[in-house]
Each structure stands twice: as C-alpha cells, then as structure tokens.
C-alpha cells in the first residue's frame, strides 16, 4: 500500500484555496501539506515541503502558474505538476504542457476529476480534457512574437501609442508596427478586437 | 440551541462550487442543502429547498448573482443573501446591496469569513469589507445610463459602430453618441479605456 500523497497548493484567492484544500481533505490518501498565494513562492515551498504533486492556478501574482510550472520543472523535476485554471484557453494549455505540466484541468470540471488527476499524474499519466486538447492542436500555437505579445497586452487598457512607447521603452513608430502586425496576425479589424481574440486564445 | 443553517450555493464553476461546499461542510451547524450552476435557477431552487441563506457568485450564466439576488429578495424576502465574488468592484457592491444582499464577500478573503458571514446575516447583520464599502461610497454609483452601459459593454470586443448598431437595433449615429457620452463620463480618452475603467469600477 502506498502512503499519503503530499500536495502543494498554489492559488491566490484565499477562499478558493482553502476550499480546494477542504475538498482534497475529503480524500483519505491526499494531504495538502503547504499552501502559497503567489507564483514566485512555489519553488521555495516545494524545496521546503517536498510535495509529490504541485497544484497550480494560472493567474497568480509574482509568477503565473505556467511560469511557476516551468521553474519547478527545471529545478525539481521529480514533482508532478497539475495546472488548475478558470480559463480553458488553448494557448494556456499548450504553454502549460510545454512548461512541463502533467495535467491541465479547468475549474468548470466536476470536483472528482481533481483527486483523480492527482492520482493519475503520480502513475506517470498525462491528464488533459480531450476537447481542449483538440482545440490546442488547432489554434493553440500563438502567431505573435514575444514583443508583439507584450505590446498588444499593454495596449489592452486603452493606452495611446505614445504612452505604450514610453512604458515599453520603444519608439512610437515601433509600437505602431508591432500593433499593426499583431492585428494582422490575429485577423482582427482593430486593436481592441486583436486584444480580445488573443486573450480568448490564451496568447496574451 | 438553534438548528442547522441551510445554505443554497450558486456558483457556475463546478470545482469551485463543490470545494466551497466541502469548506462549509467542515462547519458543524452549516449544511449545503442545494447547489445550482446558473443564476436563473436560484429562485426555483430556493422555493424547492427552503434555505436560510443563499450564497451567490456574481458571474453566472442566465442571470448574474446580482440579478438573482434581486429576484430572490423580491419573491422570498425571508432568505438572507450573501454575495461572493472574485471581483471586489465598488459598483458591484453597490448594486448588490441595492438588490437586497445582506453580505458581500470577495474570494480573496480568508475562508473563515464565509461561515462567519453566514452566521452574522442570520442574526440580521450586514457584512461588508470596510475598505470596499468606503470605495463604493466614493465611486460606486455609475454615471452611465442603462443604454450607455449596454453600448459600452457591447463595444468591449472590438465591434465597429455599424456592428454595434445592428446588434443593438440602434442607428450608427445613436451608437456614436452613447459611446461618446460614456467616454466623457468615465473621463477616458478612448473607447477601450472607457471599457476598462467602467469594468474596473463594476459599472458594466
């Protein structure tokens, strides 16, 4: 008989984090041994508490769950990684798997899938929603360069080109060029639509 | 000694909903007697299951938690209402309280506040985060008319004026006028910024 499965839980919303811990606490052989609220605390907590599985939300301050997964995978490759997110965006899934995640779950899924995924990744399985996997293969790869992504993301709050240029240390002409390419690549008609499309696909 | 507190839980994300139920299940005298995933199922479920308290997420399909609170308050005024949301936006708080909510909690708050709020609203108390209450008094009241709000919200996906006009059954000139007033009222420089400001304040 195997022992208890030790889980590190990273989620920035306290109430959701503690609720997930309560949910996992209903499973006999799963124990939440540490909780953190920031992505940049994941690696340290993993070193201190030695979990079997790290359960990571994507949208966290400090580092995103995807960035935290990459850092954890690089430094502590023995720890299995489950990504749990509100947003089942194809680009998120693709980036998560490229960062070394073993499972990708959405918070819309039935609660039973969470404990199930934790058990399965420990057996060496990959766990992904099949519909989401198909979508990620079709349009998960972002056509945007890192710079285009940065400029498009920054433009989402309605900043002018001049403000974007100042904030990103670029010339206004360069900002205009990046935005124009990003609009073209997302097949959008304007900047706001490009932001929306890229966000929905998980490219931002 | 008082009996068990019966709670109706409305939240669209299954995993979060069941996790919150597990969290409340840790409290001896609280029982989650029904769960729904849509705002437009709240009133029916309340009539069927007769809860003491309805715990409502804001962002749900069908009806928002705020709209569900208003409907519940109108038809079943004896049931206490706790709003639980990801977004501590002043406008949400104000609209929730105007709709008859007794408590307004953010998912960022410590988990212990949830059971505490449920007990307190049953004693007739109002439970609101004091910082959020102050912010709501300062800028919680939306300056937008219902029509301006509708047009601004619809414009958030990058639609052109002509598309907005078709979708909302208005003339393009009327759409332009509403947007222009909304931009002015939010002190924004353009449409995208107006959308962002209004969203951040909970006016959309």
Per-residue tens of pLDDT for chain B, all 204 residues:
468 999 999 999 999 999 999 999 999 999 999 999 999 999 999 999 999 999 999 999 999 999 999 999 999 999 999 999 888 888 888 889 889 999 999 898 889 999 999 999 999 999 987 777 777 776 667 888 888 998 998 888 888 888 999 999 999 999 999 999 999 988 888 888 899 888 888 888
Contacts of B200 in chain A (CB under 8 A): none
Average pLDDT, chain A: 90
Q: Do A196 and B158 touch (CB under 8 A)?
A: yes
Burial class (CB in 10 A: 0-12, 13-18, 19+), A173: exposed
Contacts of B155 in chain A (CB under 8 A): 192
Query: From CA B125, how far away is CA B122, in angstroms rounded?
Result: 7
Instruction: Find which of A9, A11, A16, A116 to mutate to test the B interface (most B CBs within 10 Å of its CB).
Output: A16
Query: From CA A52, how far away is CA A54, in angstroms rounded?
Result: 7
Contacts of B196 in chain A (CB under 8 A): 156-158
Q: Tens of pLDDT along A75-131?
A: 999 999 999 988 888 888 888 988 999 999 989 888 999 999 999 999 999 998 777
Q: What is the pLDDT of residue A2?
A: 60
Q: Do A192 and B192 touch (CB under 8 A)?
A: yes
Q: Does B18 contact A at CB distance below 8 Å? A: yes
Segment 112-131 of chain A within 8 Å of chain B by CB: 113-114
- Write out the two tokens for B104: 């307004």
| Closest CA–CA distance from residue A140 to any residue of chain B (Å) | 20
What domains appear along chain B, each with residue ranges and CATH number? 5-139 (3.40.50.2300), 146-200 (1.10.10.10)
Contacts of A107 in chain B (CB under 8 A): 13-16
* Residue whose C-alpha is closest to residue A17's, from B108, B32, B83, B180: B108
For the segment A140-157, the average pLDDT, to the nearest whole number, is 86
Q: Do A191 and B158 touch (CB under 8 A)?
A: yes
Q: Do A15 and B108 touch (CB under 8 A)?
A: yes
CB-based contacts of B145: which residues, under 8 Å, 6+ apart? none
* Residue whose C-alpha is closest to residue A114's, from A125, A124, A103: A103
Average pLDDT, chain B: 90
The residue behind tokens 């107006």 is: B194
C-alpha dihedral over B33, B111, A20, A133, to 10 degrees?
100
Q: What is the pLDDT of residue A81?
A: 97
Q: Tens of pLDDT along A17-29?
A: 999 999 999 999 9
Q: What is the pLDDT of residue A129?
A: 78
Q: Does B61 contact A at CB distance below 8 Å? A: no
Q: Does B137 contact A at CB distance below 8 Å? A: no
Report percent pLDDT > 70 for chain A: 97
| B80-85/B53-57 β-pairing | parallel
Q: What is the pLDDT of residue B139?
A: 64
Give the number of residues written for chain B.
204
Decide if B39 contacts B67 (C-beta within 8 A): yes
CB-based contacts of B185: which residues, under 8 Å, 6+ apart? B143, B144, B148
Q: Please give the radius of gyration of chain B, using alpha carbons only, rounded to the nearest integer.
A: 19
Coil, strand or helix at A28: coil
Contacts of B111 in chain A (CB under 8 A): 14-15, 17-19, 22
Q: Do B15 and A114 touch (CB under 8 A)?
A: yes
Q: Do A193 and B114 touch (CB under 8 A)?
A: no
Instruction: Find which of A7, A19, A193 to mutate to test the B interface (most B CBs within 10 Å of its CB).
Output: A19
Q: What angle do CA B34, B38, B39 make, to 5 degrees?
A: 95
Q: What is the pLDDT of residue B113?
A: 92
C-alpha dihedral over B135, A196, A39, B87, to 10 degrees?
20
Burial class (CB in 10 A: 0-12, 13-18, 19+), A120: middle
Contacts of A105 in chain B (CB under 8 A): 15
Q: Does B110 contact A at CB distance below 8 Å? A: yes
Decide if A65 contacts A10 (C-beta within 8 A): yes
Size of interface A-B (CB pairs under 8 A): 115
Query: From CA A136, how far away is CA A63, in angstroms rounded?
Result: 23
Q: From the CB of residue B33, how many other CB atoms can be counted at a distance below 10 Å?
A: 17
Decide if A45 contacts A52 (C-beta within 8 A): no
For the segment A4-27, the average pLDDT, to the nearest whole number, is 95
| Closest CA–CA distance from residue B39 to any residue of chain A (Å) | 15
Q: Do A23 and B26 touch (CB under 8 A)?
A: no
Q: What is the pLDDT of residue B141?
A: 74
The residue behind tokens 């920031």 is: A38
CB-based contacts of A145: which residues, under 8 Å, 6+ apart? none
Decide if B21 contacts B9 (C-beta within 8 A): yes
Is the pLDDT assigned to residue A1 strictly greater than 50?
no
């Amino acid at each position: 008989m195997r022992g208890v499965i030790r889980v590190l839980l990273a989620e920035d919303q306290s109430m959701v984090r503690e609720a997930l811990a309560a949910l996992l606490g209903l499973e006999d052989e799963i124990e939440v041994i540490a909780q953190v609220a920031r992505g940049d605390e994941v690696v340290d907590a993993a070193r201190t508490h030695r979990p079997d599985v790290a359960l990571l939300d994507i949208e966290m301050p400090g580092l995103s769950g995807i960035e935290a997964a990459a850092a954890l995978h690089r430094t502590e490759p023995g720890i299995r990684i489950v990504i749990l997110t509100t947003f089942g965006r194809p680009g998120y899934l693709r980036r998560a798997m490229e960062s070394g995640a073993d499972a990708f779950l959405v918070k819309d899924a039935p609660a039973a899938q969470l404990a199930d995924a934790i058990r399965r990744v420990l057996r060496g399985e990959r766990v992904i929603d099949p519909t989401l996997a198909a979508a990620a293969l079709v349009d998960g790869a972002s056509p945007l360069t890192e710079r285009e992504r940065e400029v498009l993301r920054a433009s989402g709050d309605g900043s002018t080109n001049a403000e974007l240029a100042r904030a990103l240390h670029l010339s206004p002409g360069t900002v205009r060029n990046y935005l124009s390419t990003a609009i073209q690549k997302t097949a959008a008609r304007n900047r706001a639509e490009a932001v929306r499309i890229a966000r929905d696909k998980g490219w931002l």
